[in-house]
Structure 1
Amino acid sequence: MQTSETGKTAELWNERLRHELAHPPFHAIFKPEAVGVDPSSGAIRIRVPYQEHFSASVENPFVHGGVVATLIDISAHAAVAVQTGRTSPTIDLRIDFLRPVPAAEIYATARPLRIGRTVARVDVEVTNAEGTVFAAGRGTFSTSGN
Structure 2
Amino acid sequence: MNTQEILTRVSAFMNEQVPFQKLLGFEITEFTPERGQVKFRWQEPLMGNVPQRMLHGGVTATALDTAGGLVAIAGMIERLEEPSEHYLMERLSRCGTIDLRVDYLRPGRGKEFIANASIIRSGNKVAVARMELHNEDGTHIAFGTGTYLVG
Q: One fold, TM greater than 0.5?
A: yes
* Counterpart position of 1:4: none
Shift of 1:10: 5.4
Distance of 2:109 and 2:140 partners within structure 1? 11
Asked whether 1:51 is paired with 2:71, we answer: no
Q: Secondary structure at the match of 1:59?
A: coil
Moved over 4 A (4+): 8-12
Distance of 1:33 and 1:135 partners within structure 2? 19
Amino acid at match of 1:19: F
* Counterpart position of 1:35: 29
Contact map agreement 1:20 1:81 (CA 8 A) in 2? no
Gaps of 5+ in 1: 1-7
- Post-superposition Cα deviations, 1:15-46, rounded to whole Å, max 9, x if no partner, equal 43333333322122112112224x4x611211
Please point out which of 114, 126, 131 is paired with 2:133. 126
* Counterpart position of 1:111: 118
Gaps of 5+ in 2: 78-91
* Counterpart position of 2:74: 82
* Percent of aligned positions that are identical: 29
Distance of 1:19 and 1:110 partners within structure 2? 19
How large is the RMSD of aligned CA atoms in angstroms? 2.0
| TM-score, structure 1 normalization | 0.80
